[in-house]
Amino acid sequence: MASATYETRLFINNEYVSAKSSETLSLTNPFDGSKIDAAVEVAGEEDVDLAVSAAQAAFKSGPWSTYTGSQRAKCMLKFADLIDANAAKLAELDSIAMGAPTAIGAGFLIPAAAAAFRYYAGWADKIEGESFGADDGTYKIVRHEPLGVCAGIAPWNAPILYVGWKIAPAVAAGNTYIFKSSEKSPLSALVLGNLVIEAGFPPGVIQFISGGGKTGGLLASHMKISKISFTGSTFTGKIVQKLALESNMKSCTLELGGKSPALVFADANIPNAVGSTADGFLLNSGQVCVAGSRLFVEESIAPAFIEAVKERFTTISSTLGADPRTGTTMHGPVADEAQFNRVMSYIDLGKEFSAPVVGGNRKGDKGFFIEPTLFVNPDRKGKVFNEEIFGPVLSIVTFKTEEEAIELANDTVTGLSASVYTSDITRALRVSAKIDSGNVSINAPHFPNQQVPFGGFKESGNGKELGKYGLQSYMRTKTVLIK
């Protein structure tokens, strides 16, 4: 049954239904540690099969299978408007579940999801093919076709954002979609079922289910799902890829972890660089895959720069503890107790080598707030410097030359994003070309834009989301030869 306050059921075939599984998720509000009165129902094998069957029917024989690109776009544009209209409600649900400030959710992340639907709606009637003349006696046609039933597994740090990134390109291409939000933040996605109906999507086109790793595994290994898109840790991404390969060799897009570098050269606009690398890093309490958690600063400006970052961290720390649901709160807690313990364990490891120059402690006596923490020249071989922490822990290391900075930036197994701060455009282009990362921003923290592809190198995953590349990842290419 649905909670009196929160929608907790599964959304399958344009209906809210109780899960066949008896398992439920237990949620805690990270602001104060209180239990959330929402027993979110977990999709088991039978539930996943039902969702896949509905998606398959919609793709093969339902009204959706006959929709033109402009008809698909009409539903998508309406859905985007509805997301915007419900942004405050959606942001509050995310804040309750994982602590994100509603000001960030409603003002930035959720509108970005709506923007993705509008962007891909523009592509829906522009999917072109190719043809080649019959100079050799054969007329040749190249077709780009939808894959069929697709599925997405989202992380907990920005649930609605990934609805836009994953579902929008898929349905623009004519696919159907099953979306599983994280077990840490499932509340907002479940509300979207009503918006799917109101937007005019036929049954089975977009479905929302909840659950943890087991449910995700059912999607990744399902023989009738043609593609899986996963965002999360490198460790889990490897499991998803293995399940996809060993089942039906389904297509896989993996946007995985990062230990992203930020390079600050002496000729940079220092106030901008400080704000971007300090305040920008602490967006969503550092729980952002593209966060520049390794900060490299040119030696000649390092003392003053470090002091400026310390000042920003101290100022932000003084604001911690406020309810993230108030419109003026910009920094909240980490997602839950497990994440709090994980981040604090990294801080404790860092302290074994050297004390942080600021932060390093729990903030307050309730909830899961952690002081913004800064390590200067930490152990280069240690976990704090080399592993993704996914929390408000920043490391600063100095460099002397451009070549050294590039070497430091690339000395990681991941390659998701990077940022370069300099007033020299020639240097910016030269350094960005040499950084082994899928995404580089100049004089700003990196945040993806729907017009261009987003995806990492090395252990940060494979495939691309956003831009025309994101659309292409939800299509297959067929050659037709006419003699």
Where does 173-279 have alpha helices with state H? 187-199, 213-220, 234-246, 270-274
Give yes or no for a contact between 230 and 440, defined as CB atoms under 8 angstroms apart. no
Confirm whether 289 is a catalytic residue.
yes
Instruction: Using CB atoms within 10 Å of the CB of residue 403, give its burial: 0 to 12 exposed, 13 to 18 middle, 19+ buried.
Output: exposed
Closest CA to 116 of 79, 69, 70: 79
- Type of residue numbered 182: S
Confirm whether 75 is a catalytic residue.
no
Written as six digits, the tokens of 292 are 């520049």
Region of 424 (left: φ > 0; alpha: ψ -120 to 50; beta: rest) is: beta
Distance, in Å, from the CA atom of 123 to the CA atom of 327, rounded to the nearest integer, reads: 35
Concatenated DSSP letters of 242-266: HHHHHTT--EEEEE-----EEEE-T
Distance, in Å, from the CA atom of 262 to the CA atom of 169, rounded to the nearest integer, reads: 30
Written as six digits, the tokens of 476 are 């297959």
Burial 29-64 (b: 16+ CB within 10 A, else e): bbbeeeebebbbbbbbeebbebbbebbbbbbeebeb
Q: β-strand 149-153 against 176-180: which pairing, if any?
A: parallel
What is the number of other CB atoms lying within 10 angstroms of the CB of residue 114?
Answer: 23
Out of 75, 150, 252, 289, pick the active-site residue: 289
CA dihedral 289, 294, 300, 304 (to 10 degrees): 70
Out of 255, 371, 459, 465, pick the active-site residue: 255
CA end-to-end distance (rounded Å), the chain: 60
| Residue numbers annotated as active site | 255, 289
